[in-house]
């Protein structure tokens, strides 16, 4: 038996991926994907293209669902690359061919948009209006989490139902509790229900549902009539951790509507949250950039370790480094701190570079910094101008067809013995994991951004532009691909954490 997850793991999942999980399963049902897949062992598996034709859906969209279903064990995959074939796992087929069970699933589908109005329901303590109807969202939460369960189906089917209906409901509950300031309030001191009501101006009916469902999740606890955080949650949400959780919930909330309409995006590539639209992108990244700044210290540790790793094979003294899509500047700055003579060019949109300038000043590397505003989709980066070029978490914003173009511009800009460093979420060779990476990839697809690739998929694209030598080195939370022309020394494994010079240790920019 797999051990049940700790509250820390659960909170991480609810904040980031639980709504993706429900959306994946609900979109698959709406699209007819479960019916279109042959059952494993009973019929021949089918290719992605053939499924896409049957369902009239985008192959890329369908692939982002199927790879997740395979990773979760709900579907199976045979073969690799273009020869991949898919089928429905026998257990999944067992419960999804049960009409009473699928009727229960179908009944959940209309609740996605009304659940997005949970904060309104909590404020009013009564049903909310949506699409000309009234929806008892609080009653729905009670039915999902608080009422005694009925007879139920098999454990596998009940687990599927939980992921299908309750996963997203958990995310939305936390989003609401964060947005209404309830999590902060519960963290300060235990309060009775009337005290909570007086402090928040929320209805008791609404508050009661939220704190009781939070109790079912192990986050709150009642003692002597007063509600507060559970001891485990209190420990986890100490210090800056609560603010960090609330910020990541706010990022997840931005995807809610698009996740509820994921089937439309998979069918027609109609992007409900289109980050290629400059206005949408500006609003989205304004929120996201708070998050990027909040994680600067932990990313800096990671990028410094990557710089130390590369420096062990290829000295960085006097090196000219280009950091494309620099964001907070966390990667370029790590290379600037690697030696006192490394020069770094930080490339991003002009508006982003203001913050980078401040960060390089507080890290005392501004005297060796150059700021280059531009558009990475079209910018010519010059010829043989850099020893190291970094593409940190930026390729995933480019649609797949744009990758050969940026790789050829980057290869041209590298000196003959230069090294390209890509930091990305790299998929397993079968493209069926890791799960967190696949969820990240689903969000990139649904926002009209890029694809995640496996190491050999990167290798093939890089070989096409002459960077035939590549290695993939896992970092603690993502992967690093290093690429060069033949004959350039590349490291093969990550430098130990204690090899990063101490005086350079991470500090908040």
Ligand X SMILES: C[S@@+](CC[C@H](N)C(=O)[O-])C[C@H]1O[C@@H](n2cnc3c(N)ncnc32)[C@H](O)[C@@H]1O
Report the interface residues with ligand X, using CB under 6 A.
292, 299, 325-328, 330-331, 348-349, 352, 375-377, 392-394, 397
- How far apart are CB 373 and ligand X at their closest, in Å? 8
Backbone angles phi, psi at 212, to 5 degrees: -70, -40
Q: Between 310 and 352, whose beta carbon lies closer to ligand X?
A: 352
Structure tokens at 450: 């890029």
Min CB(331)–ligand X separation in Å = 6
Separation between Cα atoms, residue 82 and residue 470, nearest integer Å: 22
d(CA 23, CA 116): 13
- Name the nearest CA neighbour of 23 among 55, 59, 61, 56: 61
Q: How far is the CB of 19 from ligand X (least distance, A)?
A: 20
Nearer to ligand X, 86 or 440 (CB): 440
Query: Encoding tokens for residue 211?
Result: 């704190």
Q: Give the nearest distance from C-beta 36 to ligand X in angstroms.
A: 34
Could you tell me which of 325, 319, 333, 372 has the C-alpha nearest to residue 350? Answer: 372
- Beta bridge partner(s), residue 484: 469
Q: Is 168 exposed, middle or buried (0-12, 13-18, 19+ CB in 10 A)?
A: buried
Residue tagged 């608080």 (tokens) = 146
Q: How many CB atoms neighbour CB 105 within 10 A? A: 19
In whole angstroms, how close is the CB of 329 to ligand X at the nearest point? 8
Q: Which residue is nearest to ligand X (CB)?
A: 327
SS3 of 141-176: HHHHHHCCCCCCCCHHHHHHHHHHHHHHHHHHHHHH
Nearer to ligand X, 318 or 377 (CB): 377
Rounded least distance, CB 450 to ligand X, Å: 10
Count the Cβ atoms, other than its own, within 10 Å of residue 231. Answer: 9
C-alpha 89, offset from chain centre: 26
Cis amide linkage into residue 470, ω under 30° from 0? no
CA distance 241 to 10: 15
Helix (H, G, I), strand (E, B) or coil at 464: coil
Distance in Å, CB of 303 to ligand X, minimum: 8
Between 159 and 287, CB nearer to ligand X = 287
Complex with ligand X: residue 266 or 365, whichever CB lies closer: 365
What is the rounded distance in angstroms from the CA atom of residue 152 to the CA atom of residue 150? Answer: 5
Which CB sits closer to ligand X, 123 or 299? Answer: 299
Output the smallest distance, CB 323 to ligand X, in A. Answer: 7
Q: What is the SS3 assignment for 335-401?
A: HHCCCCCCEEEEEECHHHHHHHHHHHHHCCCHHHEEEEECCCCCCCCCCCCEEEEEEECCHHHCCHH
Beta carbon nearer to ligand X, 196 or 356? 356
Q: Whose Cβ is closer to ligand X: residue 367's or residue 375's?
A: 375
105 or 391, CB closer to ligand X? 391
Closest approach of ligand X to the CB of residue 30, in Å: 30
For ligand X, the closer of residues 327 and 491 by Cβ is 327
- The residue with tokens 């909330």 is 253
In angstroms, what is the minimal distance from the CB of 482 to ligand X?
A: 16
């Amino acid at each position: 038996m797999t051990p049940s997850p700790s509250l820390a793991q659960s909170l991480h999942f609810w904040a980031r991926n639980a709504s993706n999980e429900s959306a994946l399963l609900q979109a698959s049902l709406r699209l007819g994907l479960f019916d279109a897949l042959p059952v494993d062992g009973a019929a021949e598996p089918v290719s992605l293209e053939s499924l896409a034709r049957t369902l009239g859906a985008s192959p890329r969209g369908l692939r982002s669902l199927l790879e997740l279903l395979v990773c979760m064990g709900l579907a199976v995959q045979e073969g690799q690359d273009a020869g991949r074939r898919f089928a429905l796992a026998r257990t999944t087929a067992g419960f999804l061919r049960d009409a009473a069970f699928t009727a229960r699933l179908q009944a959940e589908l209309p609740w996605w948009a009304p659940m997005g109005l949970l904060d309104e329901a909590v404020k009013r303590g009564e049903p909310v209006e949506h699409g000309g109807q009234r929806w008892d969202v609080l009653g729905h939460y009670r039915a999902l989490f608080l009422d005694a369960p009925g007879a139920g189906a098999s454990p596998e089917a009940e687990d599927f139902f939980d992921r299908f209906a309750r996963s997203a409901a958990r995310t939305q509950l936390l989003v609401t509790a964060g947005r209404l300031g309830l999590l902060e309030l519960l963290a300060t001191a235990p309060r009775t229900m009337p005290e909570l009501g007086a402090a928040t101006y929320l209805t008791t009916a609404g508050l009661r549902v939220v704190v009781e469902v939070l109790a079912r999740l192990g986050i709150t606890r009642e003692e002597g009539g007063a509600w507060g955080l559970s001891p485990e949650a209190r420990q986890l949400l100490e210090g800056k951790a609560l603010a960090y959780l609330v910020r990541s919930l706010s990022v997840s909330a931005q995807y809610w509507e698009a996740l509820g309409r994921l089937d439309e995006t998979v069918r027609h590539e109609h992007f409900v949250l289109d980050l290629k639209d400059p206005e949408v992108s500006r609003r989205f990244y304004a929120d996201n950039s708070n998050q990027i700044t909040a994680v600067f210290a932990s990313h800096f540790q990671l990028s410094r370790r990557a710089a130390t790793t590369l420096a062990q094979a290829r000295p960085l003294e006097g090196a000219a480094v280009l950091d494309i899509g620099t964001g907070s500047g966390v990667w370029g700055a790590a290379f600037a701190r690697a030696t006192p003579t490394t020069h770094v060019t930080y490339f991003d949109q002009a508006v982003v570079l203001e913050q980078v300038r401040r960060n390089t000043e507080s890290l005392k590397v501004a005297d060796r910094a150059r700021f280059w505003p531009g558009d990475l989709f079209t910018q010519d980066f010059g010829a043989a101008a850099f020893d190291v070029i970094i593409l940190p978490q930026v390729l995933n914003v480019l649609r797949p067809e744009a990758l050969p173009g940026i790789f050829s511009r980057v290869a041209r800009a590298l000196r003959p013995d230069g090294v390209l460093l890509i930091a990305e979420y790299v998929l397993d060779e079968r493209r069926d994991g890791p799960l967190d990476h696949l969820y990240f990839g689903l969000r990139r697809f649904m926002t009209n951004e890029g694809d995640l690739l496996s190491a050999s998929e990167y290798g093939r694209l890089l070989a096409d532009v002459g960077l035939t030598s590549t290695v993939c080195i896992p970092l603690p939370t993502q992967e690093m691909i290093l690429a060069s022309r033949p004959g350039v020394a590349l490291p093969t494994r990550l430098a130990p954490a204690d090899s990063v010079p101490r005086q350079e240790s991470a500090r908040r920019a």
